[in-house]
């Protein structure tokens, strides 16, 4: 069954290294929390708030060892007033053997404000 694995993370400033490092961290942690292997992943959609323009977060995924064949796409979130700034969100489409209610979604750094009901303590 293909399920959507969600996650979000914030960065301190719009610097390429932070975009790449925190995107890779988020992807790795979501995948680990859900016991997913790279070959179980159908695709990944990554969005950023409009204030992130220094780098494509998809690059972080493409450079991870063994991930070069995973389809990854980036987009910007809607520019909504008072939205959480400097936020990277992911949606991983993966084959998993768990019910939707048992999927673990991770919200890291200040992104815990987005979904405190789903946020994991880190």
- CA–CA dist 77, 84 (Å, integer): 11
74 is catalytic: yes
28 is catalytic: no
- Spell out the alpha helix ranges (H) of the chain: 16-33, 58-62
8 Å CB contact between 38 and 70: yes
8 Å CB contact between 39 and 96: no
Q: Which of 3, 22, 25, 74 is catalytic?
A: 74
59 is catalytic: no
Q: CA 118: distance to chain centroid?
A: 14
87 is catalytic: no
Q: Which of 3, 22, 25, 107 is catalytic?
A: 107
Q: What is the DSSP letter of 103?
A: P
Q: Which of 6, 22, 25, 87 is catalytic?
A: 6
| Residues that are catalytic | 6, 62, 74, 77, 89, 107, 115
């Amino acid at each position: 069954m293909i399920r959507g694995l969600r996650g979000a993370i914030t960065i301190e400033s719009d610097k390429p290294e932070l975009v790449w490092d925190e995107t890779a961290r988020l992807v790795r942690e979501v995948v680990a929390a859900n016991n997913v292997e790279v070959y179980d992943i159908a695709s990944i959609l990554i969005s950023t708030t409009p204030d992130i323009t220094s780098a494509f977060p998809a690059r972080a995924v493409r450079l991870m060892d063994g991930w070069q064949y995973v389809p990854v796409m980036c987009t910007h979130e809607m520019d909504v007033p008072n939205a959480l700034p400097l936020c990277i969100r992911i949606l991983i489409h993966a084959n998993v053997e768990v019910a939707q209610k048992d999927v673990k979604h991770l919200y890291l750094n200040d992104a815990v404000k987005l979904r405190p009901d789903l946020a994991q303590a880190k």
